């Protein structure tokens, strides 16, 4: 299993292109996120192939359904051999408990991560769905619910990491997208943070796509980010292991 804090987001619909791009990056220097786009076009076969090539896979399918259906989906994902998977916390306590139980009973146990409030959702959107709390309050409420239901962590913005870390403590895995090394394009990301700053704030894993995969030399970009993270971690003593169960 890789020790890398970097999860490369494989955002492609073409399985061959996705795999070719990934193979430029050695599995001991990164992990891989397979989301709805790639999974819908390429299916479990590609996930198996990626795992077979030695990569840890974060299956980002954000399950949200009735408890039994989510439990069976988690079981199927665990059987694929993925390293991490996620569910929408909005599915409720019972759904989260079923997901936890399904993973606990599986022979291979991926990290189980919750998605709180999508960063595309505004306070106005929440209000329209009957949620009167602001987004920050709602993120914290759903994070606590995750903790109580025994999930291993949450996906969150790097800007929320320090507040969430204070609320849930050290042994909880924080996974953050929206990461941009200094001097790289923000693309469509609005509130970005550098890899070093996100790790210093308390993030465990950084989800990074375009700054690596669209760089002139993806491996060089990956190794530069790895070095930036290592420098921050050397400065922060004593170093904290990544949160959540392994």
- Interface residues toward ligand C5P, by CB under 6 A: 9, 11, 35, 119, 177-178, 187, 189, 207-211
33 is catalytic: no
Least CB distance from residue 207 to ligand C5P, whole Å? 4
d(CA 103, CA 18): 28
Instruction: Return the residue nearest ligand C5P (CB atom).
Output: 209
d(CA 111, CA 178): 21
Q: Check the CA dihedral 11-13-17-22 and report its sign.
A: positive
Q: Which is nearer to ligand C5P, 11 or 75 (CB)?
A: 11
d(CA 75, CA 107): 10
Query: By CB neighbour count within 10 A (0-12 exposed, 13-18 middle, 19+ buried), where does 220 fall?
Result: exposed
Query: By CB neighbour count within 10 A (0-12 exposed, 13-18 middle, 19+ buried), where does 170 fall?
Result: exposed
Q: Which is nearer to ligand C5P, 22 or 102 (CB)?
A: 22
Q: Which is nearer to ligand C5P, 168 or 207 (CB)?
A: 207
- Residues making up the chain, counted from first to last: 246
Give the helix ranges, DSSP H, for 161-243: 161-168, 195-201, 210-213, 218-235
Q: Which is nearer to ligand C5P, 71 or 89 (CB)?
A: 89
Least CB distance from residue 151 to ligand C5P, whole Å? 17
Task: Find, among 69, 82, 76, the residue nearest to 34 by Cα.
Answer: 82
163 secondary structure, DSSP code? H
Least CB distance from residue 68 to ligand C5P, whole Å? 27
Residue 244 falls in which region: left (phi positive, over 0), alpha (psi -120 to 50) or beta? left
Which of 49, 62, 101, 109 is catalytic? The answer is 62
Least CB distance from residue 120 to ligand C5P, whole Å? 7
Q: Which is nearer to ligand C5P, 64 or 240 (CB)?
A: 64
Least CB distance from residue 214 to ligand C5P, whole Å? 8
Looking at the DSSP assignment, which residues form a beta bridge with residue 114? 87, 154
Enzyme catalytic residues: 62
């Amino acid at each position: 299993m890789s020790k890398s804090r970097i999860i490369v987001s494989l955002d492609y619909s073409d399985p061959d292109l996705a795999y070719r791009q990934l193979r430029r990056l050695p599995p001991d220097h990164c992990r891989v996120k397979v989301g709805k786009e790639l999974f819908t076009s390429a299916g479990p076969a590609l996930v198996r192939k990626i795992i077979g090539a030695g990569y840890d896979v974060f299956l980002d399918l954000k399950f949200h359904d009735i408890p039994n259906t989510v439990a069976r989906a988690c079981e199927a994902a665990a059987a694929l051999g993925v390293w991490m998977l996620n569910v929408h916390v909005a599915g409720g306590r019972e759904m989260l408990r079923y997901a936890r139980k399904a993973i606990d009973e599986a022979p291979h146990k991926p990290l189980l991560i919750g998605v709180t409030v999508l960063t595309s959702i505004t306070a106005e959107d929440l209000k329209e769905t009957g949620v009167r709390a602001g987004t920050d309050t709602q993120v914290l409420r759903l994070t606590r619910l995750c903790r109580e239901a025994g999930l291993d962590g949450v996906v969150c913005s790097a800007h929320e990491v320090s507040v969430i870390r204070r609320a849930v403590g050290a042994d909880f895995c924080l996974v953050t997208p929206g990461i941009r090394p200094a001097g790289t394009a923000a693309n469509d990301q609005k509130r970005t943070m550098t890899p070093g700053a996100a790790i210093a704030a308390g993030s465990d894993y950084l989800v990074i796509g375009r700054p690596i995969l669209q760089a002139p030399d993806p491996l060089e970009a990956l190794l530069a980010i790895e070095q930036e993270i290592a420098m921050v971690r050397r400065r922060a003593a004593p170093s904290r292991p990544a949160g959540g169960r392994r």
